[in-house]
Amino acid sequence: MTSAAAAGRPAVAWPGARTELVGVVGDPVRHSLSPLLHNAAFAALGLDWAYVAFPVARSELAVALAGARALGLRGLSVTMPHKEAIARAADQRSRAVERLGAANTVVLRSGIAVAETTDGVGLLDDLREGAGFDASGLRCAVVGAGGAARAVVLALAEAGARSVVVVNRTADRAAQAAALAGSAGRVGTPGELADVALVVQATPAGMPGAASGAARPGEPARPGLAVAALARRLGAGQLVVDLVYHPPMTPFLAEAASRGATVRNGLGMLVHQAAHQCSLWTGESAPLEAMWAAVGGRTAGRPVEP
Ligand code: NAP
């Protein structure tokens, strides 16, 4: 039996005339795990839906959104470099998107494009499911102040964290990110990481090829924060998360784990943010077991030392 038939889809000629389409726009995007996750979810739900990757250059985003509307796509995932531009281009924005100025999801209904963000809630869901962690009343810290860090800062504040300390290479970006947490947020120093219950590493520093002087396109190279060295301040009783999931065990996580911290990589955030997207588009409860299975199972979100 084909996987289409197993999922209750027509066994012949799938995708067909009634297949609903969603996809991810980004540049680059051919490496994305999102098609695996979402197609597994649609199959498990028995939906005649398909998800594909659309490489879209920065200059083509508005045209791509207009095309998605015209072609009747049900929604889009949105990744770099389009997260800010899609928030501006959408017809409506969720409250969190208004605050962040960025979105990772578009829901298309009757031609209306609604921008949503699922990254922050996705991380918190993963921490609850995978580590039994609830931020309410706890001191938390975020390393980094880019799009992912900002989404996490806002989500932690909305979950009732007692404080959210932001540690970042560039001070003004740290202040802007911390402001998202209102009175709970402030800019902190590396020394403060030892005193919090949760540390979220939200820079690309643990990815292969991430140079210590990495900068945004058009900006001069700058020395990086010594991210892996920050983990020397961490230890037992702390939950430490790296949003990077390739490699599964980053130098930051390995250092924190060697000092007794509980560590988790960013794969669970990827799964749970996709689960929220699936629910927003389809109105169904997302099939988490099938989605985890598509990316290697729950243990893949639990890094083990090599
Ligand atoms: P971004 O908007 O470009 O922000 C990057 C942040 O990292 C900035 O605060 C930047 O500091 C800092 N940074 C960059 N290189 C650095 C270095 N070498 N040393 C120290 N700090 C450095 O990126 P993003 O979208 O937030 O993504 C951040 C990471 O999260 C990426 O690795 C991405 O793959 C990952 N992510 C994972 C998920 C998931 O589902 N698991 C979702 C989203 C993102 P400055 O402000 O000083 O420039």
Ligand 1 atom closest to 245 (CA): 41
Q: What is the DSSP letter of 79?
A: -
CA of 145 to the centre of ligand 1 (A): 7
What are the pocket residues of ligand 1 if the criterion is a CB atom closer than 6 Å to any ligand atom? Answer: 119, 144-149, 168-170, 173, 202-205, 207, 210, 212, 214, 224-225, 227, 243-245, 266, 269-270, 273
DSSP line for 88-135: HHSSEE-HHHHHHT--SEEEEETTEEEEE--HHHHHHHHHHHHH----
Question: What does the pLDDT read at residue 207?
Answer: 77
Say if CB 145 and CB 166 are below 8 A apart.
yes
Question: What does the pLDDT read at residue 218?
Answer: 58
Please list, residue by residue across 81-112, b when 16 or more beta carbons sit within 10 angstroms of its beta carbon and e when fewer do: bbbebbbebbeebbebbebbebbbbbbbeeee
Question: What does the pLDDT read at residue 14?
Answer: 87
User: Which residues are annotated as catalytic?
Assistant: 83
Nearest CA to ligand 1 atom 1: 146
Question: What does the pLDDT read at residue 222?
Answer: 64
Question: What does the pLDDT read at residue 7?
Answer: 61
Cα(250)–Cα(234) distance, integer angstroms? 15
Kindly give the pairing relationship between strand 20-26 and strand 75-78.
parallel
Q: Per-10-residue mean pLDDT for the chain, 306 residues long?
A: 56 87 97 97 98 98 97 97 97 97 97 97 97 97 96 98 96 97 97 97 82 52 75 96 94 95 96 98 98 90 68
Question: What does the pLDDT read at residue 299?
Answer: 82
Question: What does the pLDDT read at residue 221?
Answer: 60
Assessment of whether the complete model's pTM goes beyond 0.75: yes
Question: What does the pLDDT read at residue 300?
Answer: 78
Rounded to the nearest 5 degrees, what angle is found at the Cα of 64, between the Cα atoms of 58 and 70?
165
* Structure tokens, 16: 């067909």
| All structural domains of the chain | 3-117+268-301 (3.40.50.10860), 120-265 (3.40.50.720)
> Which ranges of the chain would DSSP assign to H, the alpha helix?
3-6, 34-45, 61-71, 83-89, 95-100, 119-131, 147-158, 171-179, 227-230, 251-258, 267-282, 288-294
